[in-house]
Chain A
């Protein structure tokens, strides 16, 4: 069973700051998702990555398979980035394709 840990649990920053959210997992995975959950509750998939780095606008996600660690970065943060960010591991090997989720990072960007 994979354990997915995120840090920090809560993060408050000023508009414009560079944000980093970390995710570590305990067993090998085939891919890792980064998700964003808005205050209204909807979930948006930001990235799925299995190696290296992906970039979309101001968002960057990296993963280090050997260290079992991934990071989500937000550059030039804005109040509309305020949300809960969740990492979720897709386990490698046979068995469930269901995701194992971290508890989420509550991000607040103040103007």
Chain B
């Protein structure tokens, strides 16, 4: 059973470009969580999704950020018009049920130049 997969592992974007981060949950998991770790800071919750639904996006910046988890395929975290402050490690985690242990992916390290 493969673990949580994220790609790309490293992503470099110039200011103003779009970044798309993908997360494939563990097999059988229908709950996905996205977290952000800014340099020298702790992890912060961004968004919680179930298949085709955003359950809680209270941690998402109001502009430029969006997330989806379609019926088929990976969850996508999309950042439009990236700025230097978006440079961070983005982790996703998945779980089979709510209130269950979460399993983390290896992260995507986004660098905005």
Contact = CB atoms under 8 A, between A and B. Distances in A.
A41, A45, A98, most chain B CB atoms within 10 A: A98
Given A41-B107, A101-B35, A104-B42, 16 more contacts: A30-B99, A41-B106, A41-B109, A45-B104, A48-B100, A48-B101, A96-B45, A96-B56, A96-B58, A98-B33, A98-B46, A99-B35, A99-B45, A100-B45, A101-B42, A103-B42
A42 B106 CA distance: 5
A56 B42 CA distance: 25
28 contacts: A31-B101, A35-B104, A41-B109, A42-B104, A42-B106, A43-B91, A44-B104, A45-B103, A45-B104, A86-B43, A88-B43, A90-B99, A95-B56, A96-B45, A96-B56, A97-B31, A97-B33, A97-B55, A98-B33, A98-B45, A98-B48, A98-B59, A99-B45, A101-B35, A101-B42, A101-B43, A102-B42, A103-B42
Nearest to A90: B99
Nearest to A42: B106
| Chain B interface, DSSP helix/strand/loop, else mixed | strand
Interface of B: 31, 33, 35, 42-48, 55-56, 58-59, 89, 91, 98-104, 106-107, 109
